């Protein structure tokens, strides 16, 4: 059952009212007034039943979800900080200062699963609409588009690590199902992993390769032993997992659709041509930003490693759904070579204007592509400040949710700075008027 916060609560004598000691012009107080909490509650109301135990209020959990991403915190730390910060409590709709945790941090996981990427897209749309629908529609005539990698929270993949993980998983299955294995290989695996140390040294390389082959043999032996000894009904439950293990053992250097992680099998290898980081393991994402104001109006995660030019249709489609208007021009880098028009949107990439181009055309192109480069620091801020550099949420659904949360947090922090600038300007004008009246 959906629990709602009281609209006009009756004040209690022995509780501390938040509005009695917080500054009403604080940036979070101003932002809380701008967000349409009622529409978010209506959007998510159908996900809850009409009977049963009252749920966490929508404003409380959505507010904390936004604060978590805006201030780059974890599920546990944001709930702890909530108790210390009265402005955060006011932002989440509380009337009185709270002394207890609002909910268990694990409820974030359940809520993200409940709303899914579709629900998170509605929250993302809300962050765009806060800048004004008409203003955003004017700004979206020309947009900047680029792709980046959202790295997953996995270890750097090597064959040795994967074989070791397969052995550990097989032993765990055998222990859980009370299967008596011929040998556990625990001491053997420990010795073989020690043989991997300094494997690139000429003296150790041959020994390390032999140890890796031995680990692969043990992993295959355990898989076959489980398939023989597990009952048919039990084996059916683990069929997908054992199939994944066998796929890892069968894959070679030139295999396609390789598995790089057992707990995140959808992860793929992406090469972006970086000097300091040749390969990244995660998913490719496309970011769409308005040309002048720098508002993020599109953020799409891709489950496959598409060529950059093939990511444009879906990114522009999402922008149209969120803003209500398709961009006239999309300014991209040279990685988007291919189509010049996609569903009426002109694709512009840097190129030599040619000898016949006028001075005006040259200057316009130069100005456009200087603006295009402004998307790079935006992507940098998404990674360093808004948790896009490493995604801790599970599966492809977690990839999409984390990306849209990061884009939402970026837009909200941008709006906070604008509100703060307006407030400072207002106080400066008031101070000048006061000084003028005194003189």
Average pLDDT in the 363-390 region?
A: 89
Q: What is the pLDDT of residue 360?
A: 64
Do 41 and 175 reside in the same domain of the chain?
A: no
Q: What is the pLDDT of residue 38?
A: 92
In a domain, 209, yes or no: yes
Average pLDDT in the 279-288 region?
A: 95
- Of the two residues 264 and 437, the one the predictor is more confident about is 264
pLDDT, the chain, mean: 90
Write out the E strands in 208-279: 268-270
Q: Of 135-149, 161-175, 276-290, 424-438, which range is least confident? A: 424-438
Cα distance between residue 49 and residue 53, in whole Å? 10
Cα distance between residue 15 and residue 96, in whole Å? 6
Share of the chain above pLDDT 90, in %: 71
Q: What is the pLDDT of residue 357?
A: 58
In a domain, 429, yes or no: no
Q: What is the pLDDT of residue 140?
A: 92
Alpha-carbon 243 to chain mean position: 29
Identify the burial level of 64 via C-beta atoms within 10 angstroms of its C-beta, where 0-12 means exposed, 13-18 middle and 19 or more buried.
buried
Tally: H helices and E strands in the chain:
16, 7
Cα distance between residue 154 and residue 374, in whole Å? 30
Q: What is the pLDDT of residue 366?
A: 80
CB 281 within 8 A of CB 157: yes
pLDDT band of 52, cuts 50, 70, 90: confident
Share of the chain above pLDDT 70, in %: 93
Total number of domains constituting the chain: 3
In a domain, 1, yes or no: no
pTM as predicted: 0.90
Question: Which residues, 6 or more positions from 227, have their beta carbon under 8 angstroms from its beta carbon?
Answer: 235, 242
Given 105, 138, 170, which residue is the final one in a domain?
A: 105
Average pLDDT in the 39-46 region?
A: 92
Q: What is the pLDDT of residue 185?
A: 95
pLDDT band of 368, cuts 50, 70, 90: confident
Q: What is the pLDDT of residue 262?
A: 95
Do 285 and 402 reside in the same domain of the chain?
A: yes
pLDDT in tens, 178-212: 999 999 999 999 999 999 999 999 999 999 999 99
User: What domain range is 222 assigned to?
Assistant: 159-250
Identify the burial level of 144 via C-beta atoms within 10 angstroms of its C-beta, where 0-12 means exposed, 13-18 middle and 19 or more buried.
buried
pLDDT band of 237, cuts 50, 70, 90: very high
Average pLDDT in the 267-271 region?
A: 93
Q: What is the pLDDT of residue 63?
A: 96
Do 231 and 329 reside in the same domain of the chain?
A: no
pLDDT in tens, 300-316: 999 999 999 999 999 99
Cα distance between residue 378 and residue 407, in whole Å? 10
**Is the model's pLDDT at 355 over the cut of 60?**
no
CATH of the domain at 371: 3.30.420
Q: What is the pLDDT of residue 381?
A: 94
In a domain, 307, yes or no: yes
Do 48 and 141 reside in the same domain of the chain?
A: no
Do 68 and 167 reside in the same domain of the chain?
A: no
Do 301 and 384 reside in the same domain of the chain?
A: yes
Q: What is the pLDDT of residue 284?
A: 96
- Of the two residues 8 and 117, the one the predictor is more confident about is 117
Average pLDDT in the 395-422 region?
A: 92
């Amino acid at each position: 059952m959906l629990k709602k916060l009281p609209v006009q609560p009756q004040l209690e004598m022995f509780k501390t009212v938040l509005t009695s000691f917080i500054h009403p012009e604080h940036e979070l107080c101003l932002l809380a007034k701008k967000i349409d909490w009622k529409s978010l509650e209506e959007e998510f109301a159908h996900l809850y039943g009409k009977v049963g135990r009252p749920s966490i209020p929508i404003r409380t959990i959505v507010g904390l979800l936004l604060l978590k991403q805006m201030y780059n915190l974890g599920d546990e730390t944001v709930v702890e900080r909530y108790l210390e910060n009265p402005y955060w409590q006011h932002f989440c709709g509380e009337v009185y200062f709270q002394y207890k945790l609002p909910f268990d941090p694990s409820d974030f996981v359940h809520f993200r699963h409940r709303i899914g990427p579709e629900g998170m897209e509605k929250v993302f749309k809300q962050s765009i609409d806060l800048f004004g629908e008409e203003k955003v529609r004017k700004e979206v005539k020309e947009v900047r588009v680029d792709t980046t990698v959202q790295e997953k929270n996995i270890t750097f993949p090597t064959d040795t690590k994967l074989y070791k993980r397969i052995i550990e998983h097989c032993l765990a299955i055998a222990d859980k199902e009370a299967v008596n294995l011929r040998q556990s290989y625990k001491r053997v695996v420990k010795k073989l992993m020690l043989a991997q140390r300094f494997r690139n040294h000429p003296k150790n390389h041959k020994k390390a390769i032999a140890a890796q082959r031995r680990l692969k043999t043990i992993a295959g032996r355990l898989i076959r032993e489980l398939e023989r000894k597990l009952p048919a009904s039990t084996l059916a439950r683990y069929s997908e997992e054992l199939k994944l293990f066998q796929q890892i053992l069968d894959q070679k250097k030139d295999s396609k659709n390789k598995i790089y992680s057992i707990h995140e099998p959808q992860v793929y290898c992406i090469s972006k041509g970086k000097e300091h980081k040749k390969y990244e393991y995660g998913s490719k994402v496309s970011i769409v930003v308005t040309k002048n104001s720098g508002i993020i109006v599109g953020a799409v995660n891709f489950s496959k490693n598409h060529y950059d030019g093939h990511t444009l249709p879906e990114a522009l489609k999402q922008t149209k759904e969120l803003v209500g208007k398709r961009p006239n021009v999309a300014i991209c880098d040279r990685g988007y070579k291919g189509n010049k028009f996609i569903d009426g949107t002109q694709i512009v990439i840097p190129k030599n204007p040619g000898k016949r181009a006028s001075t005006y055309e040259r200057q316009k192109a130069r100005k456009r592509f200087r603006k295009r480069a402004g998307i790079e620091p935006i992507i940098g801020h998404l990674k360093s400040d808004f948790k896009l550099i490493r995604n801790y949420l599970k599966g492809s659904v977690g990839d999409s949710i984390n990306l849209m949360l990061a884009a939402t947090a970026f837009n909200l922090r941008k709006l906070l700075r604008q509100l703060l600038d307006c407030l400072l300007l207002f106080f400066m004008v008031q101070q000048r008027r006061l000084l003028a009246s005194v003189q």
